[in-house]
Amino acid sequence: MPWPTLVDAEIERLTAAEIQRQNTGLQLIASENFASPAVMAATGSVFTNKYAEGYPGRRYYGGNQVVDDVEDLARDRICELFGASHANVQPHSGANANMAVYQALLDPGDTVLGLRLDHGGHLTHGSPVNASGMTYDFVGYGLTPSDERIDMDQVETLAKKHRPKLIVTGATAYPRTIDAKPFRDIADEIGAVLLFDAAHIAGLIVGGVHPNPMDVADIVTFTTHKTLRGPRGGCILTTDEHAAAIDKAVFPGQQGGPQEHAIAAKAVAFAEAATDEFKAYAAQIVANAAALAESLARHGFRLVSGGTDNHLMLVDLRPFDAELTGKEAQLVLDEAGITLNRNSIPDDPRSPFVTSGIRIGTPAVTTQGMTETHMVEIADLIAETFRSRDDKALIASVRERVRTLCEPFAPYPF
């Protein structure tokens, strides 16, 4: 076989460097996880070579007998996990999944209700700089100033006033359980369709530690690489009523050829998520988040909404140190080997580029096998990094402690 003989030394070096970074640091970005070797093997499989525009049994290219089985397996497995009647596993991302839903249900200019980005929503929930906000008339609902929970009275008032065709719920930076039922009631009252974006919590739902929105929503979208721990990608679940429109909107509406290697990897992840081990994993994610939130509160940080019910927390840095911005916090933690992202807190006086908060998630460290005692240590390391932020030597010593903490838990030690 005349394969190229080139060894790409640069990419090999960079891959080794990234493995080293992931193995030796704390990965606390709430939307990240470590995919299993089986998921990564499928992602790197021969399915990357195959064109398969269309759907199983209805392809525009030949040679899809095997690929059809792969895609059917992925669809069946995820339908089983959520109790859904139809799945589209082709979206390349969560953003694509959401845009396909909009295309399936709406005409440009139609009104939609979505959670404001600065209160924990997503770009594709109508941000003016995103195609969703440019194409459709999004009206944003937010959190109550008192307890920083989704303001259902506001949702109802806005729904009755604007009569949206679609109501979107779900979040990227909301630490509390989202009950889909009151959204269903409001949607029914005004004749709207209900979309639940479960990107962050799909693994928690499947693991049984968050209520399943498919019980009441018309459509559920999610990514497969967050708490669900699969390959990067998206997925749409829908009732039969919207199935044909959704499929048409994904292909040919939004995408061309599906990435069947990613779909094979999604199928593997869905099988992994059906196990008792995964249920225990999901429960541990939540227990770890609660332990980390409590420990951070003891250090003097303020938890938005007072804590967390899920895999993430939003931390208001100001009570700990009024001068410390989210931007600076993210940078100095990076130096200490602690990776997370700055995040606006509700009604943040600072810009989204600077922020007064950080977002912290426990899916990745939980995959590594860390438990509540390690969360206490992680909170100590975060607080100590901030206290030492003007002292390079002290930051270097925290970096060493992070390395020591992570050593027995390296996700990719081979």
Which residues have a catalytic role annotated?
Answer: 51, 53, 197, 223, 226, 232
Q: Cis omega before residue 252 (within 30°)?
A: yes
Under the binding rule (CB under 6 A), the answer on residue 90 touching ligand DSN is no
| Residue choice 132, 172, 305, 362 for contact with ligand DSN (CB under 6 A) | 172
Cβ neighbours of residue 242 closer than 8 Å, sequence gap 6 or more:
104, 105, 193, 218, 219
- Contact between residue 208 and residue 14 where contact means Cβ atoms under 8 Å apart: no
Closer of 12 and 334 to ligand DSN (Cβ): 334
Length of the chain: 414
CB of 140 to ligand DSN, least distance (A): 17
Q: Which of residues 96-125 bind ligand DSN (CB under 6 A)?
A: 122
CB of 172 to ligand DSN, least distance (A): 4
Closer of 186 and 340 to ligand DSN (Cβ): 340
Token code pair at residue 296: 């951070």
Q: Which of residues 24-53 bind ligand DSN (CB under 6 A)?
A: 31
Bridge partner residues of 313 (DSSP): 360
At 302 the three-state DSSP class reads strand
Cα dist from 72 to 62, 174, 233, whole Å:
17, 33, 17
Residues 166, 169, 171, 175, Cα dihedral to 10°: 170
Under the binding rule (CB under 6 A), the answer on residue 170 touching ligand DSN is no
Under the binding rule (CB under 6 A), the answer on residue 127 touching ligand DSN is no
CB of 357 to ligand DSN, least distance (A): 14
Closer of 71 and 309 to ligand DSN (Cβ): 309
Bridge partner residues of 357 (DSSP): 316, 343
CB of 93 to ligand DSN, least distance (A): 8
- Contact between residue 317 and residue 356 where contact means Cβ atoms under 8 Å apart: yes
| Residue choice 25, 91, 94, 203 for contact with ligand DSN (CB under 6 A) | 94
Under the binding rule (CB under 6 A), the answer on residue 227 touching ligand DSN is no
Under the binding rule (CB under 6 A), the answer on residue 23 touching ligand DSN is no
Residues of this chain that interact with ligand DSN (CB under 6 A) are: 31, 94, 122, 172
